Structure 1
Amino acid sequence: MIFRLLLMCALTTCGVHACPHLCSCSFSPSGAEVECSDASMTYFPVDALPPNTTRLSIQSTQISTIQSAHLRAAPLLRTLQLYHNKLEKLPWDLLRNASQLTTLDLTGNHLVRLPAKVFKQKSLLKLLLKNNLLEEADADWFMDNSSLIQLDISGNHLSHIPSAFLHKLEHLQHLDLSHNNLIELHAGTLKNLHHLDTLNLARNKLSTLNPSLFKNTRKLSRLFLQENHLTELQPTLLSGLQHLQMLLLNQNRLQNLPQDLLDGKNSTFQMILTGNPWFCDEKMEYLWRWLNDHPHNVFFLDEVTCTGPEMLKNRQVVSLTENELSLARNV
């Protein structure tokens, strides 16, 4: 009788509910979810991985390698999270056996370079490479007409982005290049990103932006440019961005904003301007008028202050009078 019960268990629920050593598993009619977060784990948990696994999360382990054969054990996998492990490289055919994969999260590993074709997977929609050691970006990572809608390469060591890097990502909606070492972006870098909604360029070393950079990103609603080295912006930079809802320019080196830069923005538009060395002379008149006309569109308005000239130092820009600006014009 005991043998019969064990045999039935092996052929039915017990076999289905197997779970890899050092991992925890949860099961539902839609598939299994597996989480492995044991710091002592050194190998990819292939053994006993439920064949109906749809989500596999491996985090904060000692795993340093992964092969495409490892994913053969989970043909229904849709989400693969491999964050804060010890991965230093990826095989070019990593996703060969993951035809259903939509989300790949490689945050917090030790990746320096990636091979061509590594993300050539039609089903892939979200790719996170945040907080690695990547030194270069390569358009050959992706297939033509990639399905990606989210790409996060923030927190790496990128000093430049090749013009063609993003050209295959025509469906991209969210792009994060923040916390890198980018000095400039070529005019055509974003030209195929007609569906882009969010662009994060914060914490780079950008000192200027090409006036036609956002020419083809007319659906852009959130633009993060804070903590760069921007000294000036061209009047036409935001032309055509009628859907822009959020613009962050704080912690740059701007002394004024050019005429017409913010014209045409809707009533829900919000921005942050703090942490810039605003110089309150005649070139400040456009921003001064805009702030007074749209005080509810600016966060921390009382912290937008003059650094000069001396007579207006530390004054809130919005509090200035036209007469004071006229006097400053002659200083």
Structure 2
Amino acid sequence: MTSSRFLLLSLLLCLLPVCLSCPALCRCFSRRAEVVCDSTPFDSFPSDSLPQNTSILTIQFTNISTITETHLNRTPNLQELHLFSNQIQNLGPHLLRGLPKLRSLDLTDNKLTNLPANVFSHAPLESLVLKNNQIEIAGEDWLSENSTLTWLDLSGNRLTKIPGSLFGKLPNLDNLDLPNNRLEKVTERSLDALTKLERLNLNNNKIDTLDSTVFQKNLNLTHLFISRNKLQKLPQGLFRNLVNLQHLNLEENQLQTMAPGSLDSLVSLEEEGLDLAGNPWTCDGKIEYLWRWMNKNKSRVFLPDTVKCAAPPALIGRSVVSLTQSEIKAAA
């Protein structure tokens, strides 16, 4: 082979992933154009040495504290960016400008607080995970109108209010995670724009009341989790439009009774799809509706024997399904 042909062949080979460089302390998987950097000594983004064809980039367990648009300029083909368990406190404005293929961004377990306007608006994101940061306000200006986002995870932050103005930009959202925040209420129209929503997780907040119309536009909900809150009662008609709901978790609230008809519209509940345990049920005359419904739909209740009476004294510790009609009437 002549030297000129050898040189040409070498140049052609270097256009392939096998010839691409790999940053120090990282691992590169050329067949899927993936780079993984998970070494503690990292304290700056390794942008200068990243292969330009990188489509999946994971940087985790490092000391990186800032990431900007400039850091990502070298990897225009990124489809997934995983940045969990770092020390990131700041994201540059227009962070994703120049990433026209980015579908997934994960910033779990960082130190994010206030994020700049338009920070996520320049890429066709479908999945955005901001779990376990220190965010107090979810900004309506983070994303552009009619966002392509289908999954948003804001769990484990410091939110006190449902960011309804942000949700208005998410017509395609089907999965919303908000557990482990400091939410106290869900205002009546804050979820209206989420007409495609299928899964909503509000577990472990401080919600003590729900408006009867709060889920009226979420007709596609299949999974609703509201456990470990402070709900004392559920308004009649709360689940009226949730005919597709398969799983409902109301575990460990402060519920004492269930209004007549409250569960009648839940015709799609799956086996063990309803969790009511850990509530202080008052087993007087007002418990009759729940008692009848549970005995009729026992297979749909998760561990029905754990749904127990907290009052009156004579029935404390009894499971609701084990009661007799005479006991309920006697306690009325």
Partner of 1:285: 288
1:15-50: CA deviation from partner (whole Å, max 9, x where unpaired): 73311111001012xx41000000111111112211
1:61 partner SS: coil
Distance in 2 (CA, whole Å) between partners of 1:39 and 1:299 is 44
> Contact 1:267–1:297 (CA<8 Å) still a contact in 2?
no
RMSD: 1.8
Partner of 1:274: 277
1:100-144: CA deviation from partner (whole Å, max 9, x where unpaired): 100000000000111111111351110000000001111111100
Q: Which amino acid aligns with 2:265?
A: G
1:50-109: CA deviation from partner (whole Å, max 9, x where unpaired): 111110000010111111011111111000000000000111110011111000000000
- State yes or no: 1:152 paired with 2:153: yes
- State yes or no: 1:302 paired with 2:317: no
Structure 1 residues 199 and 184, CA gap change in structure 2 (3 angstroms):
same
> Contact 2:201–2:224 (CA<8 Å) still a contact in 1?
yes
Query: 1:235-274 to 2 correspondence within 5 Å?
Result: 235-266=236-267, 268-269=269-270, 270-274=273-277
Partner of 1:133: 134
Distance in 2 (CA, whole Å) between partners of 1:161 and 1:235 is 22
Partner of 1:218: 219
> Contact 1:245–1:268 (CA<8 Å) still a contact in 2?
yes
Distance in 1 (CA, whole Å) between partners of 2:123 and 2:171 is 13
Give every structure 1 segment of 4 or more consecutive aligned residues whose post-TM-superposition deviation is greater than 4 Å.
Answer: 3-11
Q: CA deviation at 1:233?
A: 0.3
Distance in 1 (CA, whole Å) between partners of 2:49 and 2:164 is 45
Distance in 2 (CA, whole Å) between partners of 1:111 and 1:88 is 5
Normalised TM-score (structure 1):
0.94
Query: 1:158-197 to 2 correspondence within 5 Å?
Result: 158-197=159-198
Partner of 1:34: 35
Distance in 1 (CA, whole Å) between partners of 2:262 and 2:279 is 17
Partner of 1:96: 97
Structure 1 residues 268 and 207, CA gap change in structure 2 (3 angstroms):
closer
Distance in 2 (CA, whole Å) between partners of 1:233 and 1:280 is 17
- State yes or no: 1:24 paired with 2:38: no
Q: CA deviation at 1:266?
A: 2.4
Q: Which amino acid aligns with 2:108?
A: T
> Contact 2:307–2:319 (CA<8 Å) still a contact in 1?
yes
Q: Which runs of 5+ in 2 are unaligned?
A: none
> Contact 2:244–2:268 (CA<8 Å) still a contact in 1?
no
Partner of 2:121: 120
Normalised TM-score (structure 2):
0.94
Structure 1 residues 66 and 7, CA gap change in structure 2 (3 angstroms):
farther
Q: Which amino acid aligns with 2:317?
A: N
Structure 1 residues 237 and 33, CA gap change in structure 2 (3 angstroms):
same
Question: More displaced, 12-21 or 209-218?
Answer: 12-21
2:209 partner SS: coil
1:34 partner SS: strand
Q: Matched residues, percent identical? A: 43
Q: Which amino acid aligns with 1:281?
A: D
Partner of 1:204: 205
Q: Which amino acid aligns with 2:283?
A: C
1:314 partner SS: coil
Structure 1 residues 224 and 309, CA gap change in structure 2 (3 angstroms):
same
Question: More displaced, 262-271 or 153-162?
Answer: 262-271
1:287 partner SS: helix
1:144 partner SS: coil
Partner of 2:144: 143
> Contact 1:208–1:232 (CA<8 Å) still a contact in 2?
yes
Q: Which amino acid aligns with 1:123?
A: P
Q: CA deviation at 1:161?
A: 2.3
> Contact 1:24–1:35 (CA<8 Å) still a contact in 2?
yes
Structure 1 residues 265 and 15, CA gap change in structure 2 (3 angstroms):
closer
Distance in 2 (CA, whole Å) between partners of 1:16 and 1:212 is 59
> Contact 2:246–2:268 (CA<8 Å) still a contact in 1?
no
> Contact 1:165–1:189 (CA<8 Å) still a contact in 2?
no
Structure 1 residues 159 and 10, CA gap change in structure 2 (3 angstroms):
same
> Contact 2:221–2:244 (CA<8 Å) still a contact in 1?
yes
> Contact 1:69–1:97 (CA<8 Å) still a contact in 2?
no
Distance in 2 (CA, whole Å) between partners of 1:107 and 1:6 is 45
Distance in 2 (CA, whole Å) between partners of 1:264 and 1:210 is 17
Distance in 1 (CA, whole Å) between partners of 2:196 and 2:18 is 45
Q: CA deviation at 1:160?
A: 1.1
Q: Which runs of 5+ in 1 are unaligned?
A: none
Q: CA deviation at 1:8?
A: 6.4
Aligned residues: 326
Distance in 1 (CA, whole Å) between partners of 2:76 and 2:262 is 51
1:216 partner SS: coil
